Amino acid sequence: MISTAELPEPYVLMLTGFGLLTALVVWLPLALRKLPLSLPIVCIALGAALFSLPQITLKPLPLLYPEIAERFTEFVVIIALMGAGLKIDRVFRWRDWAVTWRLLAVTMPLGIAAIMLVTAWGLNLPWAIALLLAASLAPTDPVLAADIQVGPPKSEDEDEVRFGLTSEAGLNDGLAFPFVHLAIALATVAGTGEAWFGEWLSYRVVWEIVAGVGGGWLIGRLFGWLTFHVSAESKLAQTGDGLIALAATCVSYGLTEMIHCYGFLAVFVTALTFRSTHREHDFHHDMHDVAEQIERLMMMVLLLLFGGALVSGLLSAVGWREIVVALVILLVIRPLTGWLGLLRHRADRSEKLTLAFFGIRGVGSIYYLAYGLNHVDVAGAGRLWGVVGLVVLFSIVLHGLTVTPIMRSLDRQQGRDPDRDQPVPSAG
């Protein structure tokens, strides 16, 4: 018999669990490819099991570690945004991106307004806090949506649905920021009688969006020139070292944040611009693969911690009202606002329904709530974390169980063979 004193140390258990989970991240996509089950669901379950062990005393609750929650999710999101931008094959033209503009200009603002109304009325939240919650839950997620995104560069796996969801996730993670800042302003400044609207509109909306797009474009052009167009002796593309994608991500985010603009937006624009400098070069595969591998590792750790948070009390403040609100957000608000945004858009009905349904919530929502709560004091912050955690959990389970059969059915309807040889999805 093994005595209690001889049980493995928590560090050894966590190291073993990390190794096993890493192996599963590599292997499970192969096994789950045709099954109605997603890798994030498995990762969350394993995290919940791991943190339920009596030897593990750490409680990975974002409320206890607000700065870590903000910074870690921030890094995961920017890596995912770089990967998403690099794998989009479609040339950036206004008309060709019509589905994206509809989802950004109609679906997201309507979604924020609807979620704000539902949470203010259903959960009795102050309007500013309801807006913060709505802005956090409105963006779709670029991290947990690999199964509904386009394939790697030049994979020719870019139908309207996959392109729309990829481009939406790439851009709305940055464009939700003005609404987060509006909520912070309403909660901190508006009540004092100080002038705030002009500064919010000119600085938080106009400057930070324009500068983010411009800065991202310049950095993308610079990295594209260094990679593909300098002299042959020192051309980075000849090395095959895709780690330059990580460099471009960090430089783009860091420099644009230094001039106080939206780094999320800048990173995605950098990726699109980087890709456009030599669209057909095979080096884009190397860069995408590196970004994807880092994203998978970070996602794995994050979902492990999320599963641990679920069994450590993340949902302790959740009651039937919060459950109803979470279901309404996922099953009513997103599908309805998505459908409204796509009215008169030239696409099949099945495509519109799929685009409207798959509004996956995930890491971006966790980041935005952490950012907001780190900038304004909110009574009952644990309840807000419970709502976001519940929505993310429901989204991962609902969309994870339905993505494979729905996307395979859509492929068949459009004359594509869902069983053809193609890259195995890494997550989602």
- DSSP letter string, 238-291: GTT-TTHHHHHHHHHHHHHHHTTS-HHHHHHHHHHHHHHTTTT-THHHHHHHHH
Residue 102 contacts residue 341 (beta carbons within 8 Å) = yes
For the chain, give every domain's residue range: 8-413
Give the C-alpha separation, 336 to 326, whole Å.
Answer: 15
In contact, 61 and 315? CB cutoff 8 Å: no
| 57-66, 163-172, 406-415: segment of lowest average pLDDT | 406-415
* Cα torsion angle, 65, 67, 71, 73, sign: positive
How many whole angstroms from its chain centre is CA 190?
Answer: 30
C-alpha 133/C-alpha 368 separation (Å) is: 9
User: Nearest to residue 361, comparing CAs of 174, 171, 137?
Assistant: 137
Q: What's this model's pTM, rounded to 2 decimal places?
A: 0.89
Residue with tokens 């993670």: 173
pLDDT for the residue numbered 22 = 75
Mention every residue, 6+ apart, whose C-beta is less than 8 A from residue 352. 338, 339, 342, 345
pLDDT at 425: 47
- What would the mean pLDDT of 203-216 be, rounded to a whole number? 95
Measure the CA–CA gap between 309 and 363, rounded to whole angstroms.
Answer: 14
User: Per-residue pLDDT averaged across 21-46, rounded?
Assistant: 73
Q: Is 54 exposed, middle or buried (0-12, 13-18, 19+ CB in 10 A)?
A: exposed
Q: Indicate the length of the chain as a whole number.
A: 428
May I ask the CATH architecture of the domain 8-413?
Answer: Up-down Bundle (1.20)
* DSSP assigned state of 13: H
Q: What is the mean pLDDT of residues 198-206?
A: 92
CA distance linking residue 287 with residue 63, whole number of Å: 35
Please state the rounded mean pLDDT for residues 145-171. 79
